Structure 1
């Protein structure tokens, strides 16, 4: 009997399957320090315990995207070890902060399958839930992945494509318990811009760029215990390159967005996202944002801003698609998310 795990192939998934992922992870201040070493992350709520206490939290939580990466990494051996590509996200929500000492685990339910016309691969849709040591829901999201078939003669399953929301309603966003911006320190946060200072349709060039190095993305992939072969094994891709984990690009772009969106403190919703083109070592990531919407929350003084975050490897800011409607080749990421900021 084989002891090793070759990963699941497309024909191994069926709608309704529940995958309980291995190896829970207890987080510490080390994860926060490493996250800030890997990315130029400067949002004050995650950098300072005192700033976080001034906003009603007991201490600075782990960055929202770090929690996402930890949960995501748990799912890779069961969902995307044999993936061709991670195609998209939807219906992502952060339900409570993660603090040092919390233990995270993950489980996923298969909610859709569709074999591709070439018969060599198919798309698998899963809803993943990240839970803490109290079985409290920390975050959940849907993603869909193109996965190779192991047995090309395996029959195609009945196509099931889940009906997903394009945008999470503002009233369904969860404001962390205790969070308030009544005594918010704009000087310590780094910028004076409130929600009222942003206009729907406004575009912001975040100006700065960071070149991706091989060593840092390899460290990130290991930190999140992401075992996808294309990220660390040079024999897994025909050109011998390592594909940068898409979450690495998300975190880099989010960190760069501090310049212009320093008060978009906490991510609470992920409406959608696409890794438009592959990222490899040596590329310089730049970012720009567009304000898509603004909304009130149930907490006075705490507003929600919906943003499109675009990461690129070059080209002019605010350029997204060509005349053919396809993403321009320099566009790496197109992410639609909700964040909280002072009204």
Structure 2
């Protein structure tokens, strides 16, 4: 009897199935240090206990995307070990801060299936919840993945495509308890630009770039215990290249966005996301953002700003996303629509 895990294939999923993922992970200051070493991450709320306390929190939480990667990584052996590509995200909500010392685990429900016309692959939609040691949900999101079939003769399942929100409303967002930006220190944060300084439709070129290194993306992917074969095994792709984990590009772009959006401190929601084109080592990544919407919140001094964050190859023109055919331009790596919390 085989004792190893070959991973699930498309025909192994059933709509309504609930999957409890192994292995729980206790996060600590080490995750923060490695996250800040791997990316130029320097948002003040995640860098300083004193800054976070001045904003009404008990201490500095773990970076939102670091927590996301931990929760995501738990799901990979059951959802995307045999994936061709991670296609997109929706309805992502950050429900509670994750603190050093918290233990995170993940649970997913299969909410959609659709076999592709080639009969060799299909798309699986899952809704994943990350929980802490007190079984409190800290985040939830939907993602969909293209997965290989193992038995090409397996019958196609009934097609179920979930009806997902195109964007979260500000009332869907969870504001951390106690968050208060009325005494916000813009000097310590690094920029003077507040919520009222940004206009809907504004495009911000974040200027800086980072060249992807093989060792860094593999270290990051191992850190999040993401076991997807395409990120490690150079024989798994016909071109012999290791595919950069999409979350690595998300965190890199988010860190680059500090230059121009230093005060977009906390990610509160992921409206949608797409990994538009693959990324490989040696590529230089840059980023730009577009302001899509703004809203006030009930928290003192806290505004919500909806941003499109786009990661691109060096040389791409900021603000250019799609061609005349409506498809993503070949230089676009990531298109991420999210809500952030910012001082008014």
Distance 1:5 1:125 in 2: 21
Q: How does 1:18-167 map to 2 (within 5 A)?
A: 18-167=18-167
Distance 2:236 2:60 in 1: 39
Distance 2:10 2:114 in 1: 9
Show the counterpart of 1:294.
294
Distance 1:178 1:299 in 2: 8
Which blocks of at least 5 consecutive residues in structure 2 are unaligned? none
Show the counterpart of 1:190.
190
- Does the 8 Å contact 2:179/2:300 carry over to 1? no
Give how far 1:300 is off.
Answer: 2.5
Show the counterpart of 1:321.
322
Question: What CA RMSD, in Å, does the superposition of the two structures yield over aligned residues?
Answer: 0.5
The superposition leaves residues 141-166 of structure 1 with CA deviations (integer Å, 9 ceiling, x where unpaired) of 00000000010000000000000000
Distance 1:119 1:251 in 2: 34
Show the counterpart of 1:339.
340
Distance 2:204 2:289 in 1: 5
Q: How does 1:268-287 map to 2 (within 5 A)?
A: 268-287=268-287
Distance 1:236 1:318 in 2: 34
Paired residue total: 343
Q: How does 1:176-255 map to 2 (within 5 A)?
A: 176-255=176-255
Give how far 1:324 is off.
Answer: 1.4
Distance 1:12 1:25 in 2: 26
The residue matched to 1:31 in structure 2 has which SS? helix
Give how far 1:230 is off.
Answer: 0.3
Give how far 1:318 is off.
Answer: 1.3
Give how far 1:322 is off.
Answer: 1.2
Q: TM-score when scaled to structure 2?
A: 0.99
Give how far 1:292 is off.
Answer: 0.1
Show the counterpart of 1:256.
256
Distance 1:67 1:100 in 2: 10
The superposition leaves residues 212-269 of structure 1 with CA deviations (integer Å, 9 ceiling, x where unpaired) of 1001000001000000000011011001100000000000000000000000000010
Which blocks of at least 5 consecutive residues in structure 1 are unaligned? none
The superposition leaves residues 17-60 of structure 1 with CA deviations (integer Å, 9 ceiling, x where unpaired) of 00100010000000000000000001000000110000011111
Give how far 1:297 is off.
Answer: 1.1
Distance 1:172 1:272 in 2: 14
Give how far 1:182 is off.
Answer: 1.4
Q: TM-score when scaled to structure 1?
A: 0.99
Distance 2:241 2:318 in 1: 27
Give how far 1:298 is off.
Answer: 1.7
Q: How does 1:5-24 map to 2 (within 5 A)?
A: 5-24=5-24
The residue matched to 1:15 in structure 2 has which SS? coil
Distance 2:219 2:57 in 1: 30
Give how far 1:339 is off.
Answer: 0.2
Give how far 1:299 is off.
Answer: 1.1
* Deviating 4+ runs (over 3 angstroms): none
